[in-house]
Amino acid sequence: MSTGRGQWLERGAAGLGLARSLVIYWRPGRQPGLRRLYGPFVRPGDLVFDVGAHVGDRTLAFAALGARVVAVEPQPLPLAWLRWLTRGQPGIHLEAVALDDRPGSARLAISRLHPTVSTLALEWRQALPERHPGFRRVRWEDGIMVPVTTLDDLIARHGVPAFCKIDVEGHEARVLEGLSQPLPALSVEFIQGALSQAEACIDRLETLAAYEYNVVAGEQRRFLWPRWRPATALHSWLQAGAAGIASGDLYARWPRPLAGSDRT
């Protein structure tokens, strides 16, 4: 295959991957559901961090709730889309970096056809295709060096967020290692085949504050349980297999009262 043809195919695969993400995350009716989900956590004028912003569906949901948003995305193609999507919105600030437990630089492994699973987490990337059926055909063909910073650095420059969404494909616990103070509320992704990573996130959060937790399964926009649960209950749930849920997000809150929700 000629170099020119190979580059054309690579660009085509990357474009297809971005298009796939747009179909998933920008399908009709999704934005109202996201606003309902995040409404109890985000008030007008609040600061929100969207770590792993990808194609910006949650970034715009936060902005629609009146928040100032710091959207963190190191991948060049999604970042270009984000710049176009958020043009003319001064309340949204883009950070073209990845997050880790310390500043510097790191290699980001990129999947052309599945850019949503691009990651800094080497062990997660190596193990998951054997443990999770949905990853058996995923390949990380590309890699680029990206600048890296920490949550503490973002807070020093932008302020303490009322809510922080973290979706960084197996690197969530490392991101939390770069945080030295409790946040009012946040979410981290979990996935079958790597549930120990979610447990590590809980352990890290519990060194900062006594949080309570709930779960959103997959791309649903409602909580799994009517009552929030302590860390011990979440550990037990994860160790029992997370009810077989393929992936989702763990939500943690502390101790700020949340509008329209119970504290039990």
Contact 158, 97 (CB under 8 A): no
pLDDT at 23: 65
Angle at 119 between CA 208 and CA 196, to 5 degrees: 50
- pLDDT given at position 29: 78
> Which residue from 108, 182, 181, 184 is spatially nearest to 148, judged by alpha carbons?
108
Return the H-helix or E-strand segment holding 14. Answer: helix 3-25
- Predicted pLDDT of residue 15: 61
CA separation (Å) from 156 to 16, 60, 79, 151, 222? 37, 23, 23, 9, 32
Q: Which residues pair with 106 in a beta bridge?
A: 146
Judge contact between 62 and 36, C-beta under 8 A.
Answer: no
Task: Note the pLDDT of residue 122.
Answer: 77
* φ/ψ of residue 31, rounded to 5: -60, -45
Q: Where are the alpha helices (DSSP H) in 103-218?
A: 122-131, 151-158, 172-177, 195-208
Angle at alpha carbon of residue 247, lines to 43 and 50, rounded to 5°: 30
> Cα separation of 145 and 154, whole Å?
20
pTM for the whole structure = 0.86
pLDDT tens string, the chain, 264 residues long: the values are 455 444 433 454 456 656 665 666 667 878 999 999 999 999 999 999 999 998 899 999 999 999 999 999 999 888 998 999 999 999 999 999 999 999 999 999 887 777 677 878 877 777 767 777 776 676 777 888 999 999 999 999 999 999 999 999 888 999 999 999 999 999 999 989 889 999 999 999 999 999 999 999 998 989 999 999 999 999 999 999 999 999 999 999 986 544 444 433
In sequence order, which residues have a C-beta less than 8 Å from that of residue 185 and are 6 or more positions away? Answer: 41, 162, 163, 164, 251, 252, 253, 254, 256, 258
